[in-house]
Amino acid sequence: MYLSFPIIIKQRKNLLILIGSITLLIGLKINADEIKLPEMGDHSAVILSPEQERRIGQQFMQQLRGAIPIIDDPELTTYIQSLGYKLVAHSDNGGQNFTFFIIKNPTINAFAAPGGYIGIHSELIVNTQTEGELAAVMAHEIAHITQHHLARAFEHSSRLSLPMTAAILTAIIAGAASGNPDAAMAGLIAAQAGSTQSQINTTRANEKEADRIGMQTLSKSGYDPFAMPSFFERLQQASRYYGLEPPEILSSHPVTRNRIADAVGRAEQLVTNNTRQLLVKNENDLKFYLMRAKLQVLASEDDRETIKYFSQSLKTGHYLNKEATQYGYALALHNAGNRNEAKKQILALLEQDKDNLTYQLAFAEIEESTGQLKTAFDIYKKALDLYPNDYTIVINYAQALLRNNQPRIARDLLKAQMELGQKNGWTYLLLARAGENIGDQTESHRWMAEYYYYHGQIGMAISQLKLASRSIGNDFHEHSKIDARLRELEAEVKINKKMDL
């Protein structure tokens, strides 16, 4: 089953259509003649132009950020983006831009959306046991985009009758209004029940193609392709204990023994035993386990339960990686306010690996929270000496500087990041705060405008630019820059209206 993800946009003549997809990792055996890759000039590849996909993606992310919590921790974001880019480099990518992000959600799932946006639920990451398993999910989602499945979904949706489209929209709105996601899903499935068999076959073919292409990408990127079937086999076994509520990823895409066996057979064709041993060894990367532990802490709703979990894991030896478990324990203790014990745990880890950046950043944060500012800032400075211009260090350091009334140093560090191309939500937001703390309202409004624009909130961005223009005084040069940017955004609003976005 191919389950649509509710991204609602306007089509010409005010038709509302459902595009996009929650694209899930499944293992299905296929023959080469069953799959036809898009040919050059295939109309499915041009139903959505790159510019249309970009704009739809921006709208999607704007709605998403307003509806659900996205984990934007700099270190986790850098990790998931790096892993994603590694896979993209070995995919059939034709120049498509990608954005990988983590959603704080207690269900095991992942999805792809127009514009190359790929979201991974926090619970899915926590339930993976190797980086290869996580990479398998991401490779599958990447394949949905590179093989133009979203464009095909758009073409298919544009042919839906108005009653069908209205039924889908009504189901989504009714479920959202009730605050019951199950009601929304039930209504959506009921509305889709009228789809033709050809529509079902199309989505099944897309899933098969994404599995095959995703597994090839996984192998080319240096990961064990057996990670794909092994992850789902474990989920299938675990689902026996879920009763009537199995993991979301299995509810929407049941995984049979035959599918797992077929995926294993496909993996056997991609690697030899000797090659697999090397791949498995490479997947046991400490960074993955550290980020997994950090995510467990950030996604937790109960600090005491999280502390208990990591403490018990350390005592019993039930863990995938001891260092990562100790690190997670330290973060949980720090979140709960037990700074002394948290510091003790981090120092023990630093004794084993003094140059580990993840440990250094945690130590700096603990020292700052206890008022040891000199020590904290020294840690950040030394870390920058070891890893010059590292984005994660700069963002953490800049936040610490702003919290402790040193906005000018923070601004200089952030502007250097901008020059290196790190133009994103964190740099814009912190530059805006630095400008405000310095007393430069024009700069603060200008950077807040870029922050809002980055998140797709173009109306708010225009409002901030107007505030910047009014606060600037008689500086003709600055007026010119702000007015030029304002005209750009106002022109974009007009284009969006013409495209009915």
First-residue to last-residue Cα distance in the chain: 29
Q: How many CB atoms lie within 10 A of CB 465?
A: 25
Q: Is 305 in the active site?
A: no
pLDDT, residue 111, reads: 84
The one-letter amino acid at 430: L
Q: Burial letters for 468-497: b for 16+ Cβ neighbours within 10 Å, e otherwise? A: bbeebeeeeebeeebeebbeebeebeeeee
Please tell me the least confidently modeled range out of 259-263, 315-319, 430-434, 459-463.
Answer: 259-263
pLDDT higher than threshold 90 for residue 32 = no
- 227 pLDDT above the threshold of 50: yes
Q: What is the pLDDT of residue 500?
A: 58
H or E stretch at 111: strand 110-113
Angle CA 360–328–86, to nearest 5: 70
Beta bridge partners of 111: 119
- What confidence tens digit (pLDDT) does each residue in 78-88 have? 999 999 999 99
| 3 state SS for 422-468 | CCCHHHHHHHHHHHHHHCCHHHHHHHHHHHHHHCCCHHHHHHHHHHH
Q: What is the mean pLDDT of residues 431-452?
A: 96
Residue 207 assigned as binding residue: yes
Q: What is the mean pLDDT of residues 395-419?
A: 96
**What pLDDT is stored for residue 415 in this prediction?**
95
CA atoms of 316 and 492, how far apart (whole Å): 58
Q: What is the mean pLDDT of residues 424-437?
A: 96
Highest mean pLDDT (candidates 4-18, 136-150, 243-257): 136-150
| Model pLDDT for residues 286-339, shown as the tens digit of each residue | 999 999 999 999 999 999 999 999 999 999 999 999 999 999 999 999 999 999
Q: Is 334 annotated as a binding residue?
A: no
DSSP run (H or E) holding 282: helix 273-283
pLDDT of res. 463: 96
Among 155-159, 318-322, 482-486, whose mean pLDDT is lowest?
A: 155-159
Is 133 annotated in a binding site? The answer is: no
Question: Does residue 189 surpass a pLDDT of 50?
Answer: no
Interval 45-76: pLDDT, tens = 445 677 777 777 777 777 677 677 889 999 99
Amino acid at 383: A
pTM check: above 0.85: no
Q: Catalytic one among 53, 123, 141, 450? A: 141
Higher pLDDT, 305 or 211: 305
Q: What is the pLDDT of residue 499?
A: 61
Average pLDDT value for residue range 93-107: 87
Give the CA count within 13 Å in the CB-facing half-sphere of 30. 19
* Cα 398 versus chain centre, distance: 23
> Is 141 labeled as catalytic in the residue annotation?
yes
In this prediction, residue 232 carries a pLDDT of 75
Averaged pLDDT, 33-56: 50
Q: Name the nearest CA neighbour of 471 among 494, 489, 448, 500.
A: 448
The string over 151-176, giving b where at least 16 C-beta atoms fall within 10 Å of a residue's C-beta and e elsewhere, is bbbbbbbeebeeebbebbbebbeebe
Give the up-direction half-sphere exposure of residue 135: CA atoms within 13 A in the CB hemisphere. 33
Report, as an integer, the average pLDDT of 184-189: 46
pLDDT on residue 180: 45
What is the mean predicted confidence (pLDDT) over 7-15? 32
Q: Which of 75, 211, 368, 443 is catalytic?
A: 211
Among 169-183, 198-212, 213-227, whose mean pLDDT is lowest? Answer: 169-183
Q: What is the pLDDT of residue 199?
A: 54
